[in-house]
Structure 1
């Protein structure tokens, strides 16, 4: 359908994944930072999951992108996805250790949300967030997402935050 895009913001490049990203992701999933996520049990399972993010661009027109700082450091991932167990299209994010608290996740998630609404023309997105994950809840709130208690979730521990085009910021032109 479409190749993965490259989206630039003031401080970040959201780019297609590369083979060299695997080790950073493995380290993330071995750390306490991934405690609110379904972590892969092996490097093979991680590889399969990351390849699903890469291949989704061709099949569905959405998927995962690496978050890279302008000086070339891999800071995490931003993703639009809907694996079979997700009731709705999700906007999800991962911030690697050392890259939280600087606004990188907000910048990347806002740019990906705007891409979804303006380029992909999706009507809505959700973020499935574990109810104990205070940092991700704060990010969803900061982005203007609204808690949707009526939305379905695949995990009873998750809250569902809804993003709509009217909750988004200035749009992609702000990142160009």
Structure 2
């Protein structure tokens, strides 16, 4: 697999994990997952992690995975790249894992005394990708092993922070986020 194919495959398979958190921002609001509860004098997650955002983000990511699966042959032929389709377990695991990774990062931020929106370099850029990969390897192990080769994983680790920073700055400029990280 050459570098072009590794980049295309990495972006393709991670797209259902990249989209959910952005969608959750748009659909957010509603009841917080932690119900306002605290632990050790701090909120467990905070108001930014809602049931509606989590559900909507996961649903949109799953629908996107289905659309990508349906178009893999045509898009792959156009790009001259063999693009994988998504088995049912990966359809759910990638977006749900992304949302759970972000929720886990929020939990860690609260435990370290960071307020909602506070930067946590490294964690902010990779939490959702790590969550998506972990859940996908648990739920669709054989597919994940075949798809996330070392070159593809390397691209994911480089591409994800770049995309994360770029989309967050754009969302900030558009007034969708209160901070650019």
Scaled by the length of structure 1, the TM-score of the pair is 0.30
**Structure with the larger RCO, 1 or 2 (CA within 8 Å, 6+ apart):** 2
Whichever structure has more helix as a proportion of its residues is: 2
Q: TM-score under structure 2 normalisation? A: 0.30
